[in-house]
Chain A
């Protein structure tokens, strides 16, 4: 995605680190900008949507890919 401001590597990270690192990273971009991350922990399929619901940020996409990694894009809303 061309308008993504930040690309993060969460591979190998287990709970709670994906959301901990996501919370830090979201502060590094401006409101309206997006970041993307790739993770290997299947727990992100449930936890990233839960995190965006709790924080009010927008989950643009979340996909399980062929190589068993999970890619998600989050937009900073506030």
Chain B
């Protein structure tokens, strides 16, 4: 096991606007400081690397999940006070008024800085999400062993 102080591994379990935003801010900040950054997206977190406006699911439950749990950065709302989408609208507006960088631009900055984005294969199978639902920059899916290998090489690990 070789620990590299200048590597960061983030596990992104959450698919909420606020938490995904925190994850991308940490990732871009670290990459800007010259660190190698690996983001492992699992369960709800997969929404952060899904394309906008694409429905997922193959079977009945999978398709129902795809409708009720829309992925893509424009579809996700805050973890609290979303109030059926009103919260998402309000937070986005407030952030825009203050000049905070919006999620799509933040993710683009992460991509630009070479942040690696790994989807979790098992979550994809459960939720019936396939590679074609992801943005092209998403890497091939991996499992826990790959994530742990990255984490054990990292001086910093985050679970969001």
Contacts and interface: CB of A to CB of B under 8 A. Distances in A.
Contact of B109 (A12, A15, A20, A22): A20
Contacts of B33: 19, 23, 51, 54-55
Contacts of B35: 54
A8 interface: no
Interface stretch (B65-73, B95-103, B121-129, B146-154): B95-103
B34 interface: yes
A12 B99 CA distance: 6
13 contacts: A14-B99, A14-B101, A15-B25, A15-B29, A16-B32, A16-B106, A17-B101, A19-B32, A22-B32, A23-B31, A23-B32, A24-B112, A51-B33
A24 B109 CA distance: 10
Interface of B: 25, 28-29, 31-35, 98-101, 106, 109, 112-113
B110 to A, nearest CB: 9
Contacts of A54: 33-35
